[in-house]
């Protein structure tokens, strides 16, 4: 669609106007024509083109006079930028009759080429005047530029997310390049201005900086917000909705850098529009008129979680006063798996060992830049500063959400926040998987839930549509206590592992049937009373409890099958038993093997201390056999005293940063 602008000309008057290449000027000829005018003729420079609407062929070939009607309109265009101001001309001669001229209206034109450009085709390069740059569409055939929340910290001393600093950061790649391209005469005609502007609503979500080293120019900015740097003055922000930008003649590109300040959330869909307008002077008494506006639309990149099927990069664990063997085993596992290991030392963790619960490691991605971003949990234990103090840094972002008015519960820990591998559900594709959280039954009045602000944040990211499971039956209440995902060479590329009391009973019954009823659990655990297989099978209360627990897990199984499009063959039941605490909430009876860390083909599994049969733990043997069929190796890690007894296991006590998806989120079809 061609942009048109209404312009007026007047007999015996010269009108000066600017023209932006690609637009049309509509000049109504009747409005100002002399009262007795019946005809008109048009002359113009070779740089100017016109047509008459409605078409009015000349009356007589010799005179080139056109009849004037109330709707007679000249539609004027030019092909290229002017070399000098007002070097192009058009004139209209009015006539009463072919022999009596009434007056002449003259139009002096200056043409400029102007475009506000972004990487609307998402190839990492800012192209020129993409026709779709003003809107945003998902998918591989979609369009629209992408913006990152600049939530890393380039400085490591007195650090804070770059968005909170008054000046631009030092890493321009964290921002989206935006280019103002102009071509025209050495100067704009007097009083004309180029200005960038945003709405108040959008301005609260971005900042725009100009590359001040480029095209330095005599125009001085009275921009009090750019107090830290002259090289990259702040141009637009919540305090500055519009800003004049420099114009220089010839073919010029001026670079700007756009920074996102907020992730998508309940009240922010992530879309931001930035406008470039050419302003025409009226007089000192009136505001300048925007006679041409170009606009670009960005979408702020969502925060993305990484499932167990992605390659691990770095493992995080705490060092505490009592976990040396665990730490040693994790060090070995990380080394075997080719991962870095980062230890949070005791002076920082103050014996808060639940590395999984304090944070979730994800990333943000754009065609020009990608970096990990930690979502800090509202949990607020002694570990609370770890992600800010130790992770936030250059190309490592930080985001958090604080609960409103309400106390947080155990369900706000991020052992209760997981993500599935990519799935397709009844034809609908989730190439980045789906987020999984645990809550109370919606039919329960007094249940614990994940706090609303975190749920709102997760849902607003859109690209990994969340699923809510029922985890409030557990004392700690985290989904990682009964489920995990491991990579698989076949089927959907993964298996869902579920804790299964039924599978445990079946295994113990088989042991008893095979004459191993006397085999004992917990052998070798200091201070722990051992139990025989017979003891377990003959405990009616334990059976009752585990019937209930299996029902709870089956409920989640049905939801997961439906929401992830899984079949029974995609699920593996792991032999795990639960018992009830004094509040009738479930805790693992022996180390909960499903609460594992997955590092490629290596699994760090809580050592279950199951019944010893022929010198081997029957639970380990079963686990190794089940995982071995998928080409996975179990590393059984003794976490009994330092984690299991404190109601967590290996997964609760660790965290993993993973490679991002090769699939880019903007290629989703939403």
Annotated catalytic residues are: 357, 478, 480, 652
Q: Give the H/E segment covering residue 336.
A: helix 324-336
Q: Are 295 and 332 in contact (CB under 8 A)?
A: no
Give yes or no for residue 14 binding its own copies (CB under 8 A).
no
Q: Are 355 and 391 in contact (CB under 8 A)?
A: no
User: In the set 20, 29, 32, 480, which binds its own copies (CB under 8 A)?
Assistant: 32
Stretch that binds its own copies, among 31-39, 93-101, 223-231, 390-398 (CB under 8 A): 31-39
Give yes or no for residue 6 binding its own copies (CB under 8 A).
yes
Q: Kindly report the number of other CB atoms within 10 A of residue 631's CB atom.
A: 12
Least separation, in Å, of the C-beta of 502 and its own copies?
4
| Angstrom distance (rounded) from CA 147 to CA 272 | 9
CA angle 374, 375, 376 (to 5 degrees): 105
Give yes or no for residue 1 binding its own copies (CB under 8 A).
yes
Q: Is 547 helix (H, G, I), strand (E, B) or coil?
A: helix
User: In the set 55, 442, 515, 540, which binds its own copies (CB under 8 A)?
Assistant: 442
| Angstrom distance (rounded) from CA 426 to CA 178 | 40
Task: Choose between 304 and 468: whose C-beta lies nearer to its own copies.
Answer: 468
Q: Are 572 and 460 in contact (CB under 8 A)?
A: no
80 to 109, contacts with its own copies by CB under 8 A? none
Taking CB under 8 A as the rule, which mask of x and - marks residues 490-509 in contact with its own copies?
A: ----------x-xx-xx--x
Task: Choose between 399 and 507: whose C-beta lies nearer to its own copies.
Answer: 507
Beta bridge partners of 359: 376
Q: Is 623 helix (H, G, I), strand (E, B) or coil?
A: helix
User: In the set 69, 170, 584, 616, which binds its own copies (CB under 8 A)?
Assistant: 584
Give yes or no for residue 113 binding its own copies (CB under 8 A).
no
User: In the set 550, 595, 602, 655, which binds its own copies (CB under 8 A)?
Assistant: 550
Least separation, in Å, of the C-beta of 36 and its own copies?
7
User: In the set 52, 64, 172, 241, which binds its own copies (CB under 8 A)?
Assistant: 241
How large is the greatest C-alpha to C-alpha distance in the chain, in angstroms?
Answer: 124
| Angstrom distance (rounded) from CA 471 to CA 468 | 9
Give yes or no for residue 201 binding its own copies (CB under 8 A).
yes
Least separation, in Å, of the C-beta of 283 and its own copies?
7
127 to 156, contacts with its own copies by CB under 8 A? none
Least separation, in Å, of the C-beta of 146 and its own copies?
23
457 to 476, contacts with its own copies by CB under 8 A? 472-473
Give yes or no for residue 71 binding its own copies (CB under 8 A).
yes
Task: Choose between 2 and 662: whose C-beta lies nearer to its own copies.
Answer: 2
Give yes or no for residue 447 binding its own copies (CB under 8 A).
yes
Q: Kindly report the number of other CB atoms within 10 A of residue 195's CB atom.
A: 17
Give yes or no for residue 283 binding its own copies (CB under 8 A).
yes
Give yes or no for residue 266 binding its own copies (CB under 8 A).
yes
Give yes or no for residue 191 binding its own copies (CB under 8 A).
no
Q: Give the H/E segment covering residue 380.
A: none
Q: Kindly report the number of other CB atoms within 10 A of residue 75's CB atom.
A: 15
Give yes or no for residue 290 binding its own copies (CB under 8 A).
yes
Instruction: Report helix angle 501-513 to 540-564, nearest 10.
Output: 130
User: In the set 129, 214, 346, 452, which binds its own copies (CB under 8 A)?
Assistant: 452
Give yes or no for residue 661 binding its own copies (CB under 8 A).
no
Task: Choose between 370 and 509: whose C-beta lies nearer to its own copies.
Answer: 509
Least separation, in Å, of the C-beta of 348 and its own copies?
36
User: In the set 128, 155, 199, 402, which binds its own copies (CB under 8 A)?
Assistant: 199
Beta bridge partners of 236: 208
User: In the set 554, 581, 628, 669, which binds its own copies (CB under 8 A)?
Assistant: 554
Give yes or no for residue 170 binding its own copies (CB under 8 A).
no
| Angstrom distance (rounded) from CA 399 to CA 387 | 10
Radius of gyration, CA atoms only, the chain: 34
| Angstrom distance (rounded) from CA 6 to CA 9 | 10
Q: Are 571 and 557 in contact (CB under 8 A)?
A: yes
| Angstrom distance (rounded) from CA 481 to CA 338 | 26
Strand ranges (DSSP E) for 100-150? 100-117, 145-147
């Amino acid at each position: 669609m061609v942009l048109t602008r209404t312009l007026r000309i007047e007999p015996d008057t010269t009108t000066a106007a600017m023209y932006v290449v690609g637009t049309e000027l509509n000049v109504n000829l009747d409005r100002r024509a002399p009262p007795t005018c019946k005809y008109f003729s048009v002359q113009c420079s070779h740089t100017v083109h016109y047509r008459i609407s409605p078409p009015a062929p000349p009356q007589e070939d010799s005179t080139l006079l056109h009849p004037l009607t109330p709707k007679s309109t000249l539609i004027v265009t030019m092909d290229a930028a002017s070399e000098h101001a007002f070097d192009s001309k058009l004139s209209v001669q009015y006539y009463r009759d072919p022999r009596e001229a009434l007056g002449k209206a003259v139009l002096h034109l200056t043409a400029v080429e102007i475009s506000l450009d972004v990487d609307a085709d998402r190839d990492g390069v800012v192209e020129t005047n993409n026709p779709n740059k003003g809107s945003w569409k998902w998918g591989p055939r979609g369009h629209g530029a992408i913006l990152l929340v600049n939530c890393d910290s380039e400085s490591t001393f007195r650090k804070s997310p770059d968005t909170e600093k008054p000046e631009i950061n030092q890493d321009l790649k964290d921002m989206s390049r935006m280019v103002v391209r102009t071509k025209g005469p050495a100067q704009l005609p007097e009083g004309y201005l180029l200005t960038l502007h945003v709405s108040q609503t959008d301005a609260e979500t971005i900042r725009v900086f100009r590359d001040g080293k480029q095209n330095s120019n005599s125009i001085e900015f009275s921009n009090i917000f750019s107090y830290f740097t002259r090289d990259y003055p702040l141009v637009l922000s919540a305090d500055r909705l519009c800003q004049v930008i420099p114009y220089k003649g010839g073919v010029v590109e001026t670079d700007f850098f756009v920074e996102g300040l907020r992730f998508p959330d309940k009240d922010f869909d992530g879309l931001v529009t930035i406008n470039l307008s050419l302003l025409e002077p009226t007089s000192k008494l009136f505001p300048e008129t925007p006679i041409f506006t170009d606009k670009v639309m960005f979408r702020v990149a969502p925060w993305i979680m990484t499932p167990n099927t992605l390659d691990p990069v770095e493992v995080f664990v705490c060092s505490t006063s009592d976990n040396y063997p665990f730490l040693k085993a994790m060090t070995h596992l990380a080394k075997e798996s080719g991962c870095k290991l980062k230890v949070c030392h005791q002076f920082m963790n103050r014996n808060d060992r639940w590395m999984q619960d304090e944070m979730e490691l994800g990333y943000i991605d754009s065609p020009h830049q990608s970096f990990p971003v930690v979502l800090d949990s509202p949990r607020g234990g002694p570990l609370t500063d770890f992600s800010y103090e130790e992770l936030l840094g250059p190309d490592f972002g930080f985001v958090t959400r604080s609960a409103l008015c309400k106390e947080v519960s155990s369900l706000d820990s991020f052992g209760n926040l997981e993500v599935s591998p990519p799935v397709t559900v009844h034809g609908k594709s989730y190439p980045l998987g789906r987020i999984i959280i645990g809550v109370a039954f919606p039919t329960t009045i007094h249940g614990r839930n994940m706090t609303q602000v975190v749920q709102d944040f997760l849902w607003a990211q859109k690209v990994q549509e969340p699923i809510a499971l029922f985890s409030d039956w557990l004392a700690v209440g985290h989904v990682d206590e009964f489920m995990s995902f491991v990579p698989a060479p076949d089927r959907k590329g993964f298996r869902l592992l579920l804790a299964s009391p039924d599978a445990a009973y079946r295994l113990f019954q088989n042991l008893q049937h095979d004459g191993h009823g006397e085999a004992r659990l917990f052998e070798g655990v200091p201070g722990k009373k051992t139990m025989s297989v017979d003891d377990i099978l003959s405990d009616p209360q334990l059976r009752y409890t585990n019937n209930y627990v299996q029902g709870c897990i089956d409920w989640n199984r049905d939801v997961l099958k439906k929401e992830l499009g899984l079949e029974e063959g995609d699920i593996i039941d792991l032999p795990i038993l639960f018992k009830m605490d004094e509040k009738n909430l479930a805790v693992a009876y022996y180390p909960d093997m499903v609460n594992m860390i997955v590092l490629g083909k290596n699994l760090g599994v809580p050592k279950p201390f199951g019944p010893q049969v022929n010198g081997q733990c029957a639970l380990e043997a079963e686990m190794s056999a089940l995982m071995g069929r998928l080409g996975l190796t179990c590393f059984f890690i003794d976490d009994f005293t330092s984690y299991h007894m404190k109601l967590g296991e290996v997964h609760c006590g660790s965290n993993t940063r993973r490679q991002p998806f090769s699939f880019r989120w903007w290629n989703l079809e939403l």
